[in-house]
């Protein structure tokens, strides 16, 4: 009998960079719901004692060339009505869900620090007053950009108890920042980092992007070294993707042949990964590296188990069986129309979900696997069986091919990616998508 081919073997032969699987199902798998679902119904059977609260601020001072996030560059005059709408939504969510406990909180975007200090203060007060979300009690992260990281804004965040600042530096080299479609001066970056450290935030996360045109492992190492000089508690390494409707996407294809670009990104990643490990950073996932331990506090939150409440246009909410949000767009006209619709919503519309994805049993299982397997700690077979009542490899037998291909180990009941597996997380994630999710993503019309 001919041996059964290993379906995971193709992951080694194919490209390492297929797509970033940071959530499942992906937002391009969402559609208008056949029946709007009242939030009280959606959350009726959900535990609400360890929720993640995410508030989205869809405004930026500029649109970076690589960015496909839900954000506008024309926010002047729109902030106040947007914050009014977010308050209405928070009140509707609080009325629908009843008593909740926020275990974690984040402000993202866009650029939350696009808001003026008084506006940041108002947003955090509104979240506390409506949903009891207090950064002094729940670990809170806020995203920022170099040009809007001012001492005045940081003082507001620190006064509220925000402990983590995540700054998108992308590159310390001015030429590589320009190649990414983000013209910024290194002096601005350094001033922002100095202000963050002076403000005394316990956790600094610094984002870098690799794969810009002309970048080499040696040139990217300059940015890694410059980042290490600030001793950030966390560093994220993001591979560059060139997406439709972005600034880089409008310029055409990637800077090199796809295969060559894939190999170059992998070489840059490996050099940076090794540099961070040598500097004492532990690898948490393909992207995340952390220095030391013990800077995390607050109640436990499991992204594969506990729910998430999203506030704001573009924010997503997760229950076990329903993921929902506003519609999604990348182009500025599409984003502007969605934001305008969000601002015009009354409390009744904020109190129901009308756009999203229902998760069937297979989706729930695959989501659980993806949210754990793509972390360096790996996936516990016992935890999976406890969650679903069946053995992991009976439900997803193709996973047995990962150890055979050298992409994972299976020891002491933990399926964990090897070094070769972690660096191919962006291939393994898409490989694990359900056929129906993949088809909806393929059919999505981006605007």
User: What is the pLDDT averaged over residues 25-51?
Assistant: 97
Q: What confidence score (pLDDT) does residue 94 get?
A: 98
In this predicted structure, the answer to whether residue 353 has a pLDDT above a threshold of 90 is yes
Q: What is the pLDDT of residues 318-331, one digit of tens each?
A: 999 999 999 999 99
Write down the pLDDT at residue 292: 84
For residues 337-342, give the mean pLDDT: 97
Give the model's pLDDT for residue 90: 98
Number of structural domains (the chain) is 2
Mean pLDDT for the stretch of residues 341-368: 97
Domain stop point among 274, 291, 308: 291
Percentage, residues of the chain above pLDDT 70: 96
Name the band, by pLDDT with cuts 50, 70 and 90, for residue 2. Answer: low
Model confidence over 383-413: pLDDT tens digits? Answer: 999 999 999 999 999 999 999 999 999 999 9
Where is the domain boundary, 244, 266, 291?
A: 291
131 and 211 in a common domain: yes
164 and 267 together in one domain: yes
Structural domain including 421 reads 10-17+360-442
| pLDDT given for residue 296 in this prediction | 61
pLDDT at 152 over 80: yes
Mean pLDDT of 353-371: 97
Residue 360: how many CB atoms within 10 A of its CB?
Answer: 11
pLDDT higher than threshold 90 for residue 356 = yes
Instruction: Give the span between the Cα atoms of 326 and 335, in whole angstroms.
Output: 10
Each residue's pLDDT tens digit, 225-273: 999 999 999 999 999 999 999 999 998 867 667 899 999 999 999 999 9
Instruction: Please indicate, yes or no, if residue 228 is contained in any of the structural domains.
Output: yes
Q: What is the pLDDT of residues 427-446, one digit of tens each?
A: 999 999 999 999 999 999 99
Domain co-membership, 274 together with 407: no
Mean pLDDT of 338-366: 97
- Is residue 301 very low, low, confident or very high in pLDDT (cuts 50, 70, 90)? low
Whether residue 283 contacts residue 273, with contact meaning beta carbons closer than 8 Å, is answered with yes
Distances (CA, A) of 436 to 327, 357, 388: 20, 11, 21
Residue 303 lies in a domain: no
Asked if residues 42 and 353 have their Cβ atoms less than 8 Å apart, the reply is yes
368 and 282 belong to one structural domain: no
User: Who wins on pLDDT, 347 or 183?
Assistant: 347
Domain end residue (candidates: 259, 291, 323): 291
pLDDT, position 295? 56
Together in a domain, 377 and 273:
no
Give the per-residue pLDDT at 126: 98
Binned at pLDDT 50, 70 and 90, residue 220 comes out as very high
On whether residue 83 sits in a domain, the answer given is yes
Same-domain status, 280 and 364: no
Per residue in 48-76, pLDDT (tens digit) is: 999 999 999 999 999 999 999 999 997 77
Q: Check which CATH number belongs to the domain holding 366 and give it.
A: 1.10.10.920
CB of 202 within 8 A of CB of 232? no
How many alpha carbons fall within 13 Å on the CB side of residue 121?
A: 8
pLDDT for the residue 297? 60
pLDDT at 222 over 80: yes
- For residue 33, the cross-strand partners are none
Residues 278 and 383 in one domain: no
Q: Is the pLDDT of residue 104 over 70?
A: yes
Whether residues 285 and 365 share a domain: the answer is no
Q: What is the mean pLDDT of residues 276-294?
A: 93
Does one domain contain both 286 and 372? no
Whether 318 maps to a domain, the answer reads: no
Give the mean pLDDT of the chain. 95
pLDDT value at position 305? 72
Do 281 and 428 lie in a common domain?
Answer: no
Q: Residue 172: is its pLDDT beyond 70?
A: yes
For residue 45, pLDDT beyond 80: yes
CATH number of the domain within which 76 lies: 3.80.30.20
Confidence of residue 300 (pLDDT cuts 50, 70, 90): low
């Amino acid at each position: 009998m001919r041996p059964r081919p290993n379906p995971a073997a193709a992951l080694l032969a194919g490209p390492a960079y297929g797509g970033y699987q940071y959530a499942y199902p992906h937002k391009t798998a969402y559609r208008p719901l056949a029946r709007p679902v009242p939030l009280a119904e959606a959350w009726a059977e959900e535990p609400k004692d360890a929720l993640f609260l995410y508030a989205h601020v869809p405004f930026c001072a500029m649109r970076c060339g690589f960015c496909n996030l839900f954000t506008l560059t024309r926010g002047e005059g729109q902030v106040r009505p947007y914050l009014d709408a977010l308050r209405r939504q928070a009140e509707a969510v609080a009325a629908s869900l009843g008593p909740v406990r926020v275990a974690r909180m984040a402000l993202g975007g866009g650029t939350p620090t696009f808001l003026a200090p008084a506006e940041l203060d108002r947003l955090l007060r509104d979240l506390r007053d409506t949903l009891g979300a207090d950064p002094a009690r729940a670990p809170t992260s806020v995203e920022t950009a170099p040009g809007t990281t001012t001492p005045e804004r940081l003082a507001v965040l620190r006064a509220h108890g925000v402990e983590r600042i995540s700054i998108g530096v992308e590159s310390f080299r001015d030429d590589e920042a320009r190649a990414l479609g983000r013209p910024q001066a290194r002096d601005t970056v350094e001033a922002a980092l100095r202000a963050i450290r002076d403000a005394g935030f316990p956790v600094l996360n610094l984002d870098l992007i690799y794969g810009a045109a002309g970048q080499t492992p040696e040139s990217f190492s300059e940015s890694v070294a410059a980042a290490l000089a600030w001793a950030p508690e966390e560093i994220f390494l993001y591979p560059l993707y060139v997406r439709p409707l972005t600034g880089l996407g409008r310029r055409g294809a990637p800077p090199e042949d796809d295969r060559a670009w894939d190999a170059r990104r992998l070489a840059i990643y490996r050099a940076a990964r090794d540099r961070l490990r040598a500097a004492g950073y532990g690898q948490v996932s393909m992207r995340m590296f952390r220095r030391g331990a013990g800077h995390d506090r607050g109640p436990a939150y499991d992204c594969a188990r506990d729910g998430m409440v999203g506030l704001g246009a573009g924010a997503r909410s997760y229950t076990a069986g329903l993921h929902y949000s506003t519609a999604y767009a990348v182009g500025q006209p599409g984003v502007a129309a969605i934001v305008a619709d969000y601002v015009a919503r009354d409390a009744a519309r904020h109190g129901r979900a009308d756009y999203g994805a229902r998760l069937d049993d297979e989706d729930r299982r695959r989501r659980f696997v993806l949210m754990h397997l793509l972390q360096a700690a790996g996936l516990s077979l016992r935890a999976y069986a406890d969650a679903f009542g069946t053995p992991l490899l009976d439900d997803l037998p193709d996973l047995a091919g990962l150890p055979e291909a050298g992409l994972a180990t299976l020891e002491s009941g933990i399926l964990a990616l090897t070094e070769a597996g972690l660096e191919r997380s962006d291939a393994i994630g898409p490989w694990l998508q359900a056929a129906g999710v993949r088809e909806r993503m393929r059919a999505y019309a981006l605007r």
